[in-house]
Every structure is written in structure tokens, then in C-alpha cells.
Chain A
Amino acid sequence: MSTRRSFLGMSAGVGGAAGFAMLRPNTMHAWLNVPQTDAPLRILILGGTRFLGVAQVQYALARGHTVTLFNRGRTNTHLFPEVEKLRGDRNDDLTALQGREWDVVIDNSASVPRWVEQSAGLLRNSANQYIYVSSLSVIADNSIIGSDETTAVKQLDDPTVEQVTGGRYGGMKALCEQRAREAFGDRAMVVRPGLIVGPMDNTDRFTYWPIRIDRGGEVMAPGNPTHHVQIIDVRDLASWMVRMGEDNTSGVYNATGPASPMSMAEMLYGIRAATSANVSFTWVNADFLEQHEVRPWSHMPTWIPPREGMEGFSRVNCSKAIAAGLTFRPLAETASDTITWFKTLPAERQSEMGAGLSAEREAEVLAAWQARAG
């Protein structure tokens, strides 16, 4: 009866929402049946206490690797009591990294090129491989459909300025990539994720949708149902990166999903399938949303209408990463696990989403749309 008991225990917390997860009560990155590696590595993770880093650490440990974390010791300090933690600061204190050796370094936490220059420079002779987590934001021209890793990257007007702003983020990440390659050469791997989603994502940039759909009622869906969307489950990305460390892979990789193009309708209806919600969808076109100051991405998460230079934003080519072993779990699993996780959060956090529209605002815009559609 253990299956039943654990399900009952979990469900008491999550209500009737996430039936799809009912057979995996420990959704919090439950790496089930992960085969142990034959060749354990020493992995240094810069960062490692948030979303992507946590998933990497858990997967690496499940595979049997030895993990060391380096960070300021300020975030989620309760995590991983069994893991070695080195204290320091990417900005000005790398002392703890000196005189040590690792097989793989995963750099999750740098958006300032100097940080990469310093850590990669320090570790170039004491670590075999440097995996830098960049971003698809480096892509200079988002009108190109099917950009691969050879596409031009953003350039900064003044590379010496270290302030990270929205406009400078992509250019700075591109420069970070360059610093990693300068230090590690063909021992450097650069991963460019798109929107990373799933349990423990505190930005709500995907979470909005499963939570909104699970609430039921009339859901405002943005733009055209056929508009493309790309996302990657944090666990798919994290586990693949660890395996890339095992394979000592180098080079640049776009990393988002799924493997074949997905439309907004496929995503939203797929999320619906993970719930029993009494829900309907009303698709409101991009012009109307713009007129009503409903913004892509921040108000309508994951959605970028394919126009005004953004035609290729959600159509990046990831075939290189897929050939190198990147896989994608079913969307229903991502959606269900995200709902289950979200419902474990404090009530006040649940009521304050970091992205998407408030219920009132959504109802207003829907009412205006219905009035217009007549």
C-alpha cells in the first residue's frame, strides 16, 4: 500500500490538480533509476544553489559524481549538507578555488565577462573542461528562422561596462562565452539555453500557464494558436549538461525544446491535459493585445509574436544538442510537476506571480475582446 499512502499524503497538499504526477510523489527532481556512472568525476559548480544549479547537483550526485559548490553562501544554504561548499565571490574572491583540481567546471552564475575571465583563467590548468551556461539571448538577429550555433552574436558598444541591463545582457553573455573559450580553448563547452522551466523556477515565466489553466474558467491565450514556442525543462537541461561533462564535449550548443516544433496551442492544450480543470481558451490576436498593453513574454509568458524582427525567436535550431544527446521529457510531466511544486509554496507567494496577467486584468481584456468580437 505504500504507493497509495504516498499518493494520499501528497494529494492532501495539492488538491485534485496534478493527477498526472500521482505516480511520482517526490516530484522535486526525483531522479528515479538514474544509472550510476562507471567513471565518477569531480565536478565544480559555480553557483549551484538555485533552479538550474540545484537540478545539476542532484543529477550529478545521483550519477555518482563528486560535487563541489562555490558561491557566496547566501542562497538556499540548507541544500546539500553532504556536498563540499567553498565560499567566495565571483566578483573579487576566488581564493577558495586555488590549489584544487576538478574534472569539470560548470559555470552557471556569470553574466559579467570579467567573472568568467577570472575563474576560467584560474582553473584552466587545474580543471579539464569548462561548461559555461550562456543564453540564446546572445543571438544578434532574432528574425532569422532556424538559427544554429554559427549565427552572429550581439556586440557591446562598450565591453568594459559591467552593468547588466536588459539591453546589454545578450552582448555580455556573448563576451562571457569568448572569455571561457580564451581560457579553455577546445576544452570549453558553451550551452545556450532558451527559457528554462519546471519545478523551482521562481520567475513564473512558464509556471503561469499550468497554474492559470489549473484554475479553470476562460483562459486568455495569446496571438495565433500556431505561433511557435520553445522551452526546456530544467531537469532535461541539467541532466544533459552533466552527461556532456561525462563525455567531455566541447563547442557551442543551443539548448531549448522540444525536439519538433511546438505551437502555442500544442503547449496550452498539452498543459490542459495534465489537469482536470473546467477550462476554455479564448485566443486574442496580437494587435488587440498590443492595443490593450498586454505585453508578450512578461504578461503572456513564453509568447513572442513572430513579427518586428522576432520571427525566429521561438524557432531556434537545436539539432546539434539533440545529436549530442539532449532529450525532452513529455510536456505533461513538466506541467504536472510544476503545478505540484507551486502548490507547496507559501500562500502569499502563490498569490504573487512573477509573470503573467492578474485574474482581474485578464477578465478585463477578455471582456473587451468579447465586446469587440460582438
Chain B
Amino acid sequence: MSTSRRDFLHMSAAGVAGMSLAASRLELRSTHPQSALRILVLGGTGFIGPHMVRYALQRGHTVTIFNRGRSNTHLFPQVERLIGDREDNLESLKGRNWDVVIDNSATVPWWVRDTAQLLKDSVDRYLFTSTRSTYSDFTQIGLNEDSPQHDPDPSAVDERRSQGYGPNKVLCEREALRAFGDRTLIVRPGLIVGPGDNTDRFSYWPIRVDKGGEMLCPGDPENPVMFIDVRDLAEWYIHMLENSTVGIYNGLGPEAPLSFAEMIYGCRAVTSAEVSFTWIDTDFLLDRGLRPYRDFPCWMPARGDRAGFQRFDLTRPLAAGLTYRPLAVTARDTLNWHKTRPVERQATLRAGLAPEREVEILAEWHASPR
């Protein structure tokens, strides 16, 4: 390994360790909060929760986390932990007061119903992490928070009947609003990416670019793509809570439209890899049974009923203070985090094409008459 590359990796490794200290632009322009908040986080030990807890602590807030005590129990020894189960045991939440609750962990509406009803008189505000998948129609470009959502059967809540991810989350939102009214803050993120993401749904790209060689790039280089760095989301959450922000906000980025080529070439810019890019026509890929998102993470051909899937209007989140790290920071930190994972985990990504399949498709593409 070359000297300059070693320096870079070393520097970056230090960077990952120091990430909780790395200030965002948001932090620079806002002074330390006037008064510390007491924040209850439902979940808090998965992917996005720890980033929120870390940032909240850094900002001087008091954090309590509530979960089953099963995952990442080593995190945050200094934080109060309440053990329970959103399905059937909220005992430890009773008789307590918080300023705000962050609900990251609900995917079924009765979980939100139960916690929101329990906490509505003992907590000021309820932040529910919803999803872009609550929208029912992606044919339009420039969807905003008022765009149509799924309209699931409300009786499903009491019947504890799941109606699928997006519709469930719609009912979750409604349960939060029913209990907290105008004290509710709902965020609808799209793909959340960055260090700690075990789905590999963005990580595939910086990892693939860093591996080098001829790389298959899907579809039209101009195809739009949207995602959000988990740290941008987490910091924005805490700032909105500090500002007593309520309402509904999409949580996506970046600010200016990003093309797939801009994303891929941005990933190249954080490596010294010897890499070349072969863009393969959308239909060629679809005809061979390759799937957007699953085989090509982040990629959704912008046409038909997915034309607007990655072209959201971001007016409201921007007005509410959402800012974005440079893509290079996201890509670099993701890559460095990935390299700390166990070797066998590094070798088996959960999204993206397997290396052999990529080689096959590239060979077919080069052999095909065009």
C-alpha cells in the first residue's frame, strides 16, 4: 500500500472514531440549546437511533432509551435504559415525564397507538419516524408532504392486522396525530445511508467502486437518486426538537438533484481505485430479470409509476433546517466503517450484484449487438 493511501486511511480511521465530535454546519450556526431536553427514544439501538442518541448527548440533552434490551446493549452505558416490549409491555414508561419522545421503532400502528396514548399527557411532543413509502402514487415529479398516501383500513389497528409496510406506517402516523395532535412531528425519510447501515443499500456503491476494475452502472447516468446520510437526519431531528418544530416533513436529499452518475463518480472521488464505469441500458437489465434497488441499490428507473420516486420536493425540510454533508463524507465514512466489519460480513453484501453475476452481465452487454 502506498504512503499516501496509508495516510488517507489512517486519517479516515481517526475520523470515524472522532465522528461524534465532528460538528455539522447546523451545529455551527446554532448556539448550544438554552435548556436541555429530556428525550425518550423508543428503539435507539438499531441503525439510526444510536446516531440520534449520540448527537443528543453531545448537545447536552438527557436521553432515556426504551427497548427490549436485545441489540447493541453495550452502547451508551451512561444512558438510562428502560426495558420493555412495544408489543405488550410498556410498564417501565408509566409514571414518567419527558419533553419529547422519538419513535423510531414502530412498523405496526398498534405500537404507536399504545405508546402515544400512554405518553400523551406526560410528554410534550411526539416525533414519529415514518417513511416515503407512505405515499401511494409516484407517477408525479415533485411530491411533497401533501401528496396522496395509502388509505388503509383503520380497523386493522385494533385487529392488529398488518397491511404492508407503507400502509402500516400511514396508520402509525394517524395514531401519533390522534394522540398528540399539533404536538406531533412526523418525518418521512427515504433511503437512510451511512456508517452502521447493515442493509448495504447504499454501501454497495462506495465498496464496489473501491474494489476497482470494470464496474456495471445501471441505466441512464442522468437517472435521479435521493437518500439521506443518517447523521444529517439525526442532527436535524435533534435541532427540530430543540426548536419545538412540529408538522410533517420528507427527509431526503441532497438539496440539488443528484444524478446516478454524480453519485457514482462522487464515490470514485473518495478512493484511489483503478476503476472504469460501463453504463448498461435499463431495459437490457430488466430483460434479464435484474431488479432495481435489490440488484442495483439506490437505483429506480424514473419512469412510469416510479417517475417521481426520487424527485421529491424538499422545500419544507430545507425550511426546517435540514442540511447535507458532502457526499464524499458519506461515501468515505461508509467505506471506512465497512472495513471495520468482520471479513466474512465484508464478503457477503446484502444488496447489490454478486461479483460473478456482474461479470456475466458485462460480458453479455459487450457481446450484444447495439
List chain A positions with a Cβ less than 8 A from chain B: 1, 3-4, 7-8, 11-12, 16, 19-20, 22-24, 31-35, 216, 225, 235-236, 239, 243, 258-261, 265-266, 269-280, 325, 327-333, 335-336
Question: Are A7 and B268 CB-contacts (below 8 A) given A32-B7, A34-B7?
Answer: no
Which residues of the other chain, B, contact A325 by a CB distance below 8 angstroms?
Answer: 2
B319 within 8 A of A: no
Which residues of the other chain, B, contact A327 by a CB distance below 8 angstroms?
Answer: 2-5, 272
Do residues A276 and B272 form an inter-chain contact, with CB atoms below 8 A? no
Do residues A273 and B266 form an inter-chain contact, with CB atoms below 8 A? yes
Do residues A23 and B12 form an inter-chain contact, with CB atoms below 8 A? yes
B25's contact among A16, A266, A280, A331, by CB below 8 Å, is which?
A: A16
Subset of 10 A-B contacts with CB under 8 Å:
A4-B22, A7-B21, A20-B329, A33-B6, A225-B261, A266-B277, A271-B269, A273-B267, A273-B269, A327-B272
B57 within 8 A of A: no
CA distance A271 to B28 in the complex (A): 23
Do residues B255 and A276 form an inter-chain contact, with CB atoms below 8 A? yes
Do residues A236 and B18 form an inter-chain contact, with CB atoms below 8 A? no
Do residues A7 and B22 form an inter-chain contact, with CB atoms below 8 A? yes
B265's contact among A1, A35, A273, by CB below 8 Å, is which?
A: A273
Minimal Cβ-Cβ distance residue in A for B266: A273
Do residues B11 and A23 form an inter-chain contact, with CB atoms below 8 A? yes
B6, B277, B326, B329 interface centre (most CB from chain A within 10 Å): B326
From residue A60, how far is it (CB to closest CB) to chain B in Å?
13
| Interface residues in B224-277 (C-beta closer than 8 Å to A) | 254-257, 259, 261-262, 265-277
CA distance A325 to B2 in the complex (A): 7
Question: Are A280 and B257 CB-contacts (below 8 A) given A265-B265, A327-B3?
Answer: yes
Which residues of the other chain, B, contact A16 by a CB distance below 8 angstroms?
Answer: 25, 28, 323
Which residues of the other chain, A, contact B272 by a CB distance below 8 angstroms?
Answer: 258-259, 327-330
From residue A269, how far is it (CB to closest CB) to chain B in Å?
4
From residue B284, how far is it (CB to closest CB) to chain A in Å?
19
Do residues B327 and A272 form an inter-chain contact, with CB atoms below 8 A? yes
Interface size, B (range): 35 or more
Question: Are A273 and B327 CB-contacts (below 8 A) given A11-B28, A265-B261, A280-B257?
Answer: yes
Which residues of the other chain, A, contact B271 by a CB distance below 8 angstroms?
Answer: 330
B15 within 8 A of A: yes
Do residues A269 and B328 form an inter-chain contact, with CB atoms below 8 A? no
CA distance A270 to B266 in the complex (A): 4
Question: Are A259 and B4 CB-contacts (below 8 A) given A8-B28, A273-B269, A274-B328?
Answer: no
| Interface residues in B7-66 (C-beta closer than 8 Å to A) | 7-8, 10-12, 14-15, 18, 21-23, 25, 28
Do residues A274 and B326 form an inter-chain contact, with CB atoms below 8 A? yes
Q: A16-B25, A270-B268, A273-B327 are in contact. List 15 more A-B contacts (CB 8 A).
A: A1-B21, A7-B22, A19-B325, A32-B10, A34-B3, A216-B256, A266-B269, A271-B269, A273-B262, A273-B328, A276-B25, A328-B4, A329-B4, A329-B8, A331-B268
From residue B273, how far is it (CB to closest CB) to chain A in Å?
8
CA distance A306 to B121 in the complex (A): 70
Which residues of the other chain, A, contact B274 by a CB distance below 8 angstroms?
Answer: 258-260
Which residues of the other chain, A, contact B277 by a CB distance below 8 angstroms?
Answer: 266
B135 within 8 A of A: no
From residue B37, how far is it (CB to closest CB) to chain A in Å?
21
Which residues of the other chain, B, contact A270 by a CB distance below 8 angstroms?
Answer: 265-266, 268-269, 328
From residue A274, how far is it (CB to closest CB) to chain B in Å?
5
CA distance A270 to B272 in the complex (A): 12
From residue A351, how far is it (CB to closest CB) to chain B in Å?
24
Do residues B276 and A276 form an inter-chain contact, with CB atoms below 8 A? no
CA distance A266 to B14 in the complex (A): 27
Which residues of the other chain, A, contact B257 by a CB distance below 8 angstroms?
Answer: 280
CA distance A239 to B22 in the complex (A): 29
Question: Are A332 and B332 CB-contacts (below 8 A) given A259-B272, A269-B261?
Answer: yes
A11, A23, A275, A280 interface centre (most CB from chain B within 10 Å): A23
Which residues of the other chain, A, contact B22 by a CB distance below 8 angstroms?
Answer: 3-4, 7, 22-23
B331 within 8 A of A: yes
Do residues B18 and A23 form an inter-chain contact, with CB atoms below 8 A? yes
Question: Are A32 and B11 CB-contacts (below 8 A) given A271-B269, A272-B262, A331-B268?
Answer: yes
From residue B20, how far is it (CB to closest CB) to chain A in Å?
9
B324 within 8 A of A: yes
From residue A280, how far is it (CB to closest CB) to chain B in Å?
6
Do residues A272 and B4 form an inter-chain contact, with CB atoms below 8 A? no
Which residues of the other chain, B, contact A239 by a CB distance below 8 angstroms?
Answer: 3-4
Which residues of the other chain, B, contact A274 by a CB distance below 8 angstroms?
Answer: 269, 326, 328
Do residues B21 and A278 form an inter-chain contact, with CB atoms below 8 A? no
Question: Are A279 and B256 CB-contacts (below 8 A) given A260-B275, A330-B270?
Answer: yes
From residue B324, how far is it (CB to closest CB) to chain A in Å?
5
Which residues of the other chain, A, contact B275 by a CB distance below 8 angstroms?
Answer: 260
Do residues B7 and A243 form an inter-chain contact, with CB atoms below 8 A? no
Which residues of the other chain, A, contact B259 by a CB distance below 8 angstroms?
Answer: 269
Do residues A269 and B10 form an inter-chain contact, with CB atoms below 8 A? no
Minimal Cβ-Cβ distance residue in B for A281: B262
Question: Are A332 and B261 CB-contacts (below 8 A) given A270-B266, A277-B256?
Answer: no
B326's contact among A12, A23, A261, A276, by CB below 8 Å, is which?
A: A276
CA distance A7 to B14 in the complex (A): 14
A19's contact among B11, B262, B273, B329, by CB below 8 Å, is which?
A: B329
Which residues of the other chain, B, contact A11 by a CB distance below 8 angstroms?
Answer: 23, 25, 28
Minimal Cβ-Cβ distance residue in A for B26: A16
Which residues of the other chain, B, contact A259 by a CB distance below 8 angstroms?
Answer: 272, 274
CA distance A34 to B21 in the complex (A): 25
Which residues of the other chain, B, contact A335 by a CB distance below 8 angstroms?
Answer: 269
From residue A256, how far is it (CB to closest CB) to chain B in Å?
15
CA distance A46 to B146 in the complex (A): 67
Top 3 nearest A-B pairs by Cβ distance? A273-B266, A270-B269, A327-B2
From residue B162, how far is it (CB to closest CB) to chain A in Å?
39
A273's contact among B2, B3, B15, B326, by CB below 8 Å, is which?
A: B326
CA distance A106 to B269 in the complex (A): 31
CA distance A271 to B328 in the complex (A): 9
Which residues of the other chain, B, contact A261 by a CB distance below 8 angstroms?
Answer: 276
Which residues of the other chain, A, contact B23 by a CB distance below 8 angstroms?
Answer: 4, 7-8, 11, 22
Which residues of the other chain, A, contact B326 by a CB distance below 8 angstroms?
Answer: 19-20, 273-276, 332, 336
From residue A73, how far is it (CB to closest CB) to chain B in Å?
32
B15, B254, B262, B328 interface centre (most CB from chain A within 10 Å): B328
From residue B70, how far is it (CB to closest CB) to chain A in Å?
33
Do residues A266 and B265 form an inter-chain contact, with CB atoms below 8 A? yes
